[in-house]
Amino acid sequence: MRLSRRSFTATLAAGALGGLATPASLFAQQKGATGRVVIVGGGFGGATRARYLRRANPGLEITLVESSPRYVTCPMSNTVIAGMNPLSAMNVSYDRLRDAYGINVVTDRATGVDADAGAVSLAEGQPLA
């Protein structure tokens, strides 16, 4: 069977859209569930992941582990390049995640993940379950 460029593109697009929909449907099914989630690594990606997990399931206990107390956000960075904003405007703290979303932010470095025990080891603190 010969696969045309059009059918290949359609199949690829359908797979990508299905992949995007799957996590949302899983969260919707688990909305009332409780549990603990540890996100290792903050930055723009980790902070966004924590925020959307909170929105999807308010019952989760979410902990974000990041060694730096601030991160540089990428969106709107062109305004810095264009001289419309200083670089300091792109520096964001994790305070809003704590205050507005109730996410526990641990400023430490993760040194290991034990998937079998369900624990994250920290450089200077107690392991997180």
The residues spanned by each domain of the chain are: 1-30, 33-122
Per-residue model confidence (pLDDT) at position 108 = 95
Per-residue pLDDT of the chain (129 residues; tens, 9 = 90+): 565 666 555 565 555 555 544 454 455 445 666 899 999 999 889 999 999 999 999 999 999 999 999 988 888 888 999 999 998 888 989 999 999 999 999 999 999 999 999 999 999 988 998
Give which of 22, 73, 79, 29 is closest to 51, Cα–Cα.
Answer: 73
How far is 17 from 12, CA to CA, in rounded Å?
9
Class of domain 33-122 (CATH, top level):
alpha beta
Asked whether 129 and 114 are in contact (CB, 8 A), the reply is no
Residue 9, pLDDT score = 58
Residue length of the chain: 129
| Residue that the structure tokens 């920290």 belong to | 122
pTM of the model: 0.70
